[in-house]
Homo-oligomer: A and B are copies of this chain.
Amino acid sequence: MPALSVDKFHPGLSVDCVILGFHQNELKALLLKMKKMDKWALPGGFVEKEEDVDKAAVRVLWERTGLKDIFLQQFYLFGDVGREEEGHVEGLVQKGVIDRELAGWLKQRFVTVGYYALVEYSQVEAPQPDYLSESCEWRSLSALPELMLDHGRILEKAHATLKRQLNYQPIGLNLLPRRFTMPELQALYETLLGQKLDRRNFQRKMMGYGILIRTGERRTGGAHKSPWLYEFDEEKYRQSLAGGLNAGW
Question: Is A29 located at the chain interface by the 8 A CB criterion?
Answer: no
Contacts of A167 in B (CB 8 A): 168, 244, 246-249
Contact present for B79 and A76 (CB under 8 Å):
no
Q: Complex formed: what's the CA distance from A53 to B76 in Å? A: 12
Across the interface, A164 reaches (CB within 8 A) one of B12, B76, B244, namely B244
Give chain A interface residues in 103-134, CB to chain B under 8 Å: 109, 111, 113
Which residues of the partner chain B approach A246 to less than 8 Å between Cβ atoms?
Answer: 167, 246, 248
CB-based nearest B residue for A12: B10
For A195, the chain B residues whose CB sits under 8 A away are 249
B249 near A109 with CB under 8 A, answer no
Asked if B79 and A113 sit within 8 Å, CB to CB, the answer is yes
Select which of B76, B77, B81, B189 is within 8 A of A50 by beta carbon: B81
Which of B77, B113, B193, B249 meets A193, CB within 8 Å?
B249
- In the complex, which residue of chain B has the Cβ closest to the Cβ of A51? B81
- A13 lies within 8 A of chain B by Cβ: yes
Known: A167-B246, A167-B249. A54 touches B81 (CB 8 A): no
Contacts of A168 in B (CB 8 A): 164, 167-168, 248
A159 to B4, CA, bound (A): 41
Query: Which B residue sits closest to A11, measured CB to CB?
Result: B11
By the criterion CB–CB under 8 Å, are A81 and B52 in contact? yes
* A197 interface contact, C-beta 8 A: yes
Q: Decide if B13 touches A111 in the complex (CB within 8 Å).
A: yes
Contact with B along A162-173 (1 / 0, CB 8 A): 001011100000
A47 proximal to B (CB < 8 A): yes
Residue of A47, A51, A77, A244 with highest tally of chain B CB at under 10 A = A77
Note all chain B residues with C-beta closer than 8 A to A244.
Answer: 164, 167
29 contacts between A and B (CB under 8 A): A10-B12, A11-B11, A12-B12, A12-B13, A13-B13, A13-B111, A49-B109, A51-B81, A52-B79, A52-B81, A53-B77, A53-B79, A54-B79, A56-B79, A74-B76, A74-B77, A77-B77, A77-B113, A79-B113, A164-B168, A164-B244, A166-B248, A167-B168, A167-B248, A168-B168, A193-B249, A197-B249, A246-B246, A246-B248
